[in-house]
Structure 1
Amino acid sequence: MPVRTSVSSQDSPGKGAGLGLALGSALAFGGSGVAAKPLIEAGLDPLHVVWLRVAGAALVMLPVAIRHRALPRRRPALLAGFGLLAVAGVQACYFAALSRIPVGVALLVEYLAPALVLGWVRFVQRRPVSRAAALGVVLAAGGLACVVEVWSGLSFDALGLVLALGAACCQVGYFVLSDQGSDAGEAAPDPLGVIAYGLLVGAAVLTAVARPWSIDWPVLAGSARLNGTAVPAVALLAWIVLVATVIAYVTGVLSVRRLSPQVAGVVACLEAVIATVLAWVLLGEHLSAPQVAGGAVVLVGAFIAQSATPAEGSSTPVASGGAERELSARGTAA
């Protein structure tokens, strides 16, 4: 199944608004880990935080799902894939990684997804990739080596790194799903409807896995600590559900409609920067100079990989990259 880029007009009148929406989406998604980690440290299981996030967002988006109630009959495979990979898989692996490694490191590892997509294209689909795309993969891998400080024998928790890599792999599966409906034109499913049903599917899957009936509810009635400052736990949860999920996905969808995937992808790269800065200011998580430099190289490599042109002899674009909210729109309304 080929992986394609969607086509959007860069000359649309709403380009300025699109940039603002994309920046807002990056800010919203970048703050999810910073809000979730204090809840995990306060005693909530990472899977329970994921379930609360997804189930809460699904409840908010339920009216949208009702409006598009014919969608499950038209695109059941797409909705199942979106819910399993883009919602349940990515969030569960990412939040579990947060319980073991810094927020910035987890997100930078997740940003290997565009490079991993090219591996899928080259070795599974056996299609040529451009030299620029290959360079992006090499840069991303080299930058990651600096982020995890391989010269010191992986100074971070190995399981945490594996979980972050699992989040990246789930994003790869979602990149592959981006071809679904790309030839449907006006018959393509509404992206907001896909997001709504993806959240419902993700919530159902996570209910079976996370067993929310065992949640330590008193934790939510208390407070969590942001770098020593007490914050109501329920306020952090509200941020995760309303801002870091619902608003982040919706603004991401609207921004991609007004921008080209490449431009939106550039703004998407700011998510890792925003998350790292917020983790430094609010959680006191500091990265060393080599890790900061390595993170910058990872972002450059991811950007090159996601915006690379097709290799000679390939009739379709190599891959389309970006953070999870670009995927949510691009994969369903290509």
Structure 2
Amino acid sequence: MPVHMSESSQGSRGKGAGLGLALASALAFGGSGVAAKPLIEAGLDPLHVVWLRVAGAALVMLPLAVRHRALVRRRPALLAGFGLLAVAGVQACYFAALSRIPVGVALLIEYLAPALVLGWVRFVQRRPVTRAAALGVVLAAGGLACVVEVWSGLSFDAVGLLLALGAACCQVGYFVLADHGGDAGEEAPDPLGVIAYGLLVGALVLTVVARPWGMRWSVLTGSADMNGTAVPALVLLGWIVLIATVVAYVTGVLSVRRLSPQVAGVVACLEAVIATVLAWVLLGEHLSAPQIAGGAVVLVGAFIAQSSTPAKGSAEPVAVGGPERELSGHRTSA
């Protein structure tokens, strides 16, 4: 006799799968810096590393772009927006901000994105949000301030701060556009197709910005130093392209479809924690006591937002994203 699961059980499974995908995405994104830093120290310009990352991922996803070529006709604005904001915008603004303000300040400002997502949902979409979701955002932001030790070096360069805020706004675009059309059933754009074309658009934009024809290509044929260990540069590049970009974007977009933009945004704050821990283990950059405490606060904030219940009187469970949505009939395993 077949066993039929209740709607709440299916919703819980969908939410659990979404949380797992969001954590996988944060882990994949968080590992990008550990692999990129040795390449930069070996002589590659940061923007050139970004271009290699996006262009390489675009080549990997090219077969999916060909398969979903109908999206170019059906959703051109979505593809252009995802490429400009979620891919090129976040990367370009963040690396440009680093040239003017400390890394910790830039990272903290960029990860104000979950709070901005919550503001988008509340004031633009005019949908209610729970107090728990708001509390989770506040805790995550406070924890991030400890993780990056923002007090260790502040700069009030106006252009740098605006660039970092631009990266945060572009990251809001990532979460909002990733959720776009997720509840449209069979008419929803395939998330893998959106990612594929977003990477293609991002690669084209970054080609103009980074000008890779002036890159030191010889660095890729040698090795890079990772805390005293020589690692082939191509291995690091492969990690950045396949794991920190392809896997990161795929799991990230799928998690937003199963959760909600604001919850996925809070969970994404774990990227800063993961990046710091990996830098500690692989690069010898040790964590201080405030950083460890901040990481714990980020985890608590993400958990509170993820496990929050709908606001009273809300017709739709904003904080948890509702039941599992159809992904255009496409099933993807992480």
Q: Which TM bucket (shorter chain)?
A: 0.7 to 0.9
Gaps of 5+ in 1: 1-7, 322-328
2:296 and 2:106 mapped to 1: Cα distance? 14
Among candidates 3, 10, 13, match of residue 12 of structure 2: 10
2:267 and 2:171 mapped to 1: Cα distance? 18
Instruction: Specify whether residues 318 and 266 from structure 1 end up closer, same or farther in structure 2 by C-alpha distance, changes over 3 A only.
Output: closer
Map 1:122-201 to 2 at 5 A. 122-124=122-124, 128-149=128-149, 151=151, 154=154, 165-201=165-201
Instruction: Specify whether residues 24 and 253 from structure 1 end up closer, same or farther in structure 2 by C-alpha distance, changes over 3 A only.
Output: same
1:240 and 1:315 mapped to 2: Cα distance? 41
Aligned to 2:324: none
2:202 and 2:243 mapped to 1: Cα distance? 18
2:144 and 2:105 mapped to 1: Cα distance? 9
Aligned to 1:222: 222
TM-score (norm 2): 0.76
1:11 and 1:215 mapped to 2: Cα distance? 47
Q: Is contact 2:129-2:319 (8 Å) kept?
A: no
Instruction: Give aligned pairs, total.
Output: 313
Q: CA deviation at 1:274?
A: 3.0
1:135 and 1:24 mapped to 2: Cα distance? 23
User: Which amino acid is the alignment partner of residue 12 of structure 2?
Assistant: Q
1:96 and 1:265 mapped to 2: Cα distance? 22
User: Which amino acid is the alignment partner of residue 290 of structure 2?
Assistant: P
Q: Is contact 2:87-2:198 (8 Å) kept?
A: yes
Moved more, 63-72 or 273-282: 273-282
Q: Is contact 1:133-1:308 (8 Å) kept?
A: yes
Instruction: Specify whether residues 156 and 243 from structure 1 end up closer, same or farther in structure 2 by C-alpha distance, changes over 3 A only.
Output: farther
Moved more, 244-253 or 273-282: 244-253
Moved more, 176-185 or 55-64: 176-185
1:296 and 1:93 mapped to 2: Cα distance? 28
Aligned to 2:6: none
- Cα RMSD over matched residues? 3.9
Q: Is contact 2:140-2:269 (8 Å) kept?
A: no
Aligned to 1:233: 233
1:232 and 1:87 mapped to 2: Cα distance? 26
1:91 and 1:62 mapped to 2: Cα distance? 20
1:22 and 1:149 mapped to 2: Cα distance? 25
**% same residue:** 84
Q: Is contact 2:144-2:272 (8 Å) kept?
A: no
Aligned with 1:10: secondary structure?
helix
Gaps of 5+ in 2: 1-9, 322-326
Aligned to 1:276: 276
Q: Is contact 1:115-1:140 (8 Å) kept?
A: no
Superposed CA deviations along residues 94-142 of structure 1, whole A, max 9, x for unmatched, are: 455678866x887665443222211333455565533223322332343
Q: Is contact 2:54-2:241 (8 Å) kept?
A: yes
Q: CA deviation at 1:233?
A: 1.5
Q: CA deviation at 1:208?
A: 1.3
Q: CA deviation at 1:78?
A: 0.8
Q: CA deviation at 1:172?
A: 1.0
User: Which amino acid is the alignment partner of residue 10 of structure 1?
Assistant: S
Q: Is contact 1:117-1:319 (8 Å) kept?
A: no
Aligned to 2:74: 74
Aligned to 2:56: 56
Superposed CA deviations along residues 9-52 of structure 1, whole A, max 9, x for unmatched, are: 4347xx78x88766654433321111011111222111111111
